[in-house]
Amino acid sequence: MSKPTRTKLDAHMERHAALMQRAWKAHRSHLYDGAAKQLGAVLGTDELEIHFATMPARYWQQNDLAAVTWHLETIHQFFETLADPDMPGTMPVLRWRPGRERHLLELALCTWDRPGLLAKAAGALAGAGLDILQADIYTRADNVVLDIFHVSAAGSRRAPTKTQLAAARDRLVDALRA
């Protein structure tokens, strides 16, 4: 049996893959340095290290520094909630910010991973009159979930109202704290 020959295309693909890997490593390093500079005094090195070591690889390809710092703040808030003896250990942390488009809001949901979590969250948002236009679902290796939902008012291209946001918060907390 003859040995397969390496073609110019194979060599090109290998070089391209190596360049892409170097670019993603540089991007991730840029994100780490930026997050450490912005949040290092609040989070400390351990929280940064854990986040950067345990998030799935696609997370680094899909997020910029502003998103990563917002996510780190959300996860930090989740751990602060866990330290509160008056709060249940399954209490989610929910944070809102404007989305990429005028009619969208971004919801960051952080809690422990568990069966049915995504279905419960989607049902709570729909029940509050929100459409989920995109969901970015991340589970860290330590079972911390960071789900990012891009939502609008149901059936429209309008941002959700304050009433809808309050209803979404109440429904999410009720569905996920149990």
Tens-digit pLDDT profile for residues 95-120? 999 988 888 999 999 999 999 999 99
What are the residue ranges spanned by the domains of the chain?
Answer: 9-176
pLDDT over 90 (residue 127): yes
* Stated pTM of the model: 0.85
Q: Residue 41 is encoded by which pair of tokens? A: 């005094």
The long-range contacts involving 158-161, CB below 8 angstroms and separated by at least 24 positions, are 158/103, 159/102, 159/103, 159/104, 159/105, 160/105, 160/129, 160/130
Q: Could you tell me the two tokens for 52?
A: 């950067």
Sign of dihedral through CA atoms 174, 77, 90, 59?
positive
The answer, yes or no, to whether residue 36 has pLDDT greater than 70, is yes
Select 9-176's CATH number: 1.10.287.110, 3.10.450.50, 3.40.50.300, 3.30.70.260: 3.30.70.260
